[in-house]
Amino acid sequence: MYDLGLPFAYTHLCYASGILFIIYLLRIRSVRLSGYPLPPGPPKLPMFGNLFDMPSSFEWEVFHRWSKQYDSEIIHLSVPGTSFIILDSLKAATDLLEKRSSIYSSRPKFTVLNKVMGFSWLLPFMPYGPLWKERRRALSRYFHPTNDKLHKSVEIEYTGRLLLLLLEDPERYLQHLNHTIGGGLLSMTYGNSARQSGEHLLGLAEEVGQCLSDGVVPGTMLLDAVPSLARILSPLLVGARFRRSNQEWEALVSRFRDVPFRDVQEMRTEGLASPSFVSAALDQLPVSENNEEQHRIIKDVAGIIFIGGSGTMGSALHTFFLAMTLFSDTQAKAQEELDRVVGQDRLPSFDDEPNLPYLSALIKEVIRWRAVGPLGLPHVLEKDDVYNGYFIPAQSVVISNVWAILNNDNEYPDPGTFQPERFLKDGRLDTSVRDPSDVIFGFGRRACPGEHIAHSTMYIIIASILSTFKIATPVDEKGVRMEPSGEYQSGVTFQPLPFKCAIKPRHDKAEALIRGDDT
């Protein structure tokens, strides 16, 4: 498919080199005209900039080292055609992405994702503008924080399913977690139509999610400068998964975006649709008008509900299981609090949360200790700017180093230690300690609108698991403890390498509670 021949490839490479050289000259000229220096950063080669310095894994740690080396909370990197601005402190991220959000709220072109793969309709990757605003409004209107009945009932239902799966097949806990989160999100989005084809939709959504994760790596953004090379070079940058034709990408997108939407429409016609985002959004449309554009918006929003939450929540809960396996004392403290407040005769409810400060602190520490998104999704600056005496060129890709912010030892002493107590004072949550949620869900106008859903889902799952199960280090057939390595895989979504843990009911009433046995 990509055997294009030497003359074709050579022509395109010459074309690309010419464009990059022009961009390089224009960038030098704009910096000279600005009168301000660029932020500090590693030395740059002519034309190539820092192309050969860019890290391929655990980028956040490398960026943080450079920030320390150059004693600056904002650093500049350049690659052919693109300037990267790394924000290594909360102050810099807040000053630019929050306080100057009017010019820092757009996104890169994401040529591979949007042009090659056909995902330009996905909200997180859309440029800031009218199309993005319409979809953001639709999402916020249905999943407003005050409208929690729409998602909490689904979260309770799917948490109950998870507990039963952990009871009957604990070794596949990670698969159960992913299916619980994904199934719950699909149910919120499509209702009972998703339940009927749940396994197929989950598998499809997981495939799409993995493609998106691969497609948003820094290497693919290099192609934004020369989009004509995207289809040729994207398979080399992100692997064999991208060796698909236009027709294959279109079919994947249609199966993910269009088919479940049509299923809901058919069930509504038959009077069989259950409450869901899609059903409610369709109910609000005028009957007599042409609603093609509104249908497109609904499909777009529905597609992002799953993608936006499944990978991040799954990774965070994977970290929760690791922390409970490694730190049994922390687990015991949370369970003592649950037994004291909830007891062992019922499962936790959302009403219990205000009376469970240690559990709340534990969840905050899970989010902080191993941030699921060590680097924030990239923003794009729309016009030249100056910050702290440094010139930031228009069209710079601006990335917040979330990992560095959440490992700042001034805010979180001894940040590498898993310590829920850092969020407590006199037995209550200490509001003077920054909540990691203020960082992990993004900044400014591009902050995640589903933060409250992520929080309530994680709360009810973690509270219910700790009420009914003990998570421990397993032993092999020879009685040797199988300690997890605690290592993580580098990626857009940060999660532990697979590990085994022992999951067993922690008291005599646990199994009856899980099975709903009143006797």
DSSP string, 158-180: HHHHHHHHHHH-GGGHHHHHHHH
pLDDT in tens, 110-138: 877 777 777 888 888 889 999 999 999 98
Q: Which amino acid is at 157?
A: E
Q: How many CB atoms lie within 10 A of CB 499?
A: 19
Q: Tell me what pLDDT residue 329 has.
A: 97
Comparing 402 with 494, the larger pLDDT belongs to 402
Q: Tell me what pLDDT residue 419 has.
A: 98
Highest-confidence segment of 28-32, 184-188, 365-369: 365-369
Confidence of residue 245 (pLDDT cuts 50, 70, 90): low
**pLDDT averaged over every residue in the chain:** 86
Burial of 198 (0-12, 13-18, 19+ CB in 10 A): middle
Burial of 382 (0-12, 13-18, 19+ CB in 10 A): middle
* Residue 278 and residue 190 in contact, taking contact as beta carbons nearer than 8 Å: yes
Count of helices and strands (H, E) across the chain: 22, 12
pLDDT exceeds 80 at position 62 = yes
Q: Tell me what pLDDT residue 1 has.
A: 37
pLDDT exceeds 50 at position 6 = no
Q: Tell me what pLDDT residue 65 has.
A: 97
Q: Tell me what pLDDT residue 270 has.
A: 86
Sequence ranges of the binding site for heme: 448
Tell me the three state secondary structure of residue 398: strand
Q: How many CB atoms lie within 10 A of CB 225?
A: 18
Q: Tell me what pLDDT residue 490 has.
A: 79
Sequence ranges of the binding site: 448
Comparing 282 with 20, the larger pLDDT belongs to 282
Work out whether the CA dihedral 465, 470, 476, 480 comes out positive or negative.
Answer: positive
Q: Tell me what pLDDT residue 150 has.
A: 78
pLDDT exceeds 60 at position 26 = no
* Residue 424 and residue 106 in contact, taking contact as beta carbons nearer than 8 Å: no
pLDDT exceeds 60 at position 357 = yes
Enumerate the domain spans of the chain: 6-515
Confidence of residue 11 (pLDDT cuts 50, 70, 90): very low
pLDDT in tens, 139-198: 888 888 888 877 999 999 999 999 999 999 999 999 999 889 988 988 899 987 766 666
pLDDT in tens, 345-355: 999 999 999 99
Q: Tell me what pLDDT residue 92 has.
A: 98
Q: Tell me what pLDDT residue 88 has.
A: 97
Nearest of 176, 181, 470 to residue 330 by alpha carbon = 470
Which residues are CB-contacts of 393 (< 8 A; sequence separation ≥ 6)? 27, 30, 31, 38, 83, 381, 384
Q: Tell me what pLDDT residue 21 has.
A: 53
Comparing 105 with 55, the larger pLDDT belongs to 105
pLDDT exceeds 80 at position 387 = yes
pLDDT exceeds 80 at position 462 = yes
Mean pLDDT on 480-506: 90
Mean pLDDT on 433-441: 95
pLDDT in tens, 220-244: 666 665 555 555 555 555 555 556 6
φ/ψ bin of 24: left (φ > 0), alpha (ψ from -120 to 50), beta (otherwise): alpha
Please state the pTM of the whole predicted model: 0.89
Q: How many CB atoms lie within 10 A of CB 76?
A: 25
pLDDT exceeds 50 at position 295 = yes
Confidence of residue 7 (pLDDT cuts 50, 70, 90): very low
Quick one: DSSP state of residue 240? Answer: G
Please state which of the four CATH numbers 2.60.40.10, 1.10.630.10, 1.25.40.10, 3.40.140.10 is assigned to the domain occupying 6-515: 1.10.630.10
pLDDT exceeds 60 at position 480 = yes
Mean pLDDT on 302-322: 86
Q: Tell me what pLDDT residue 227 has.
A: 58
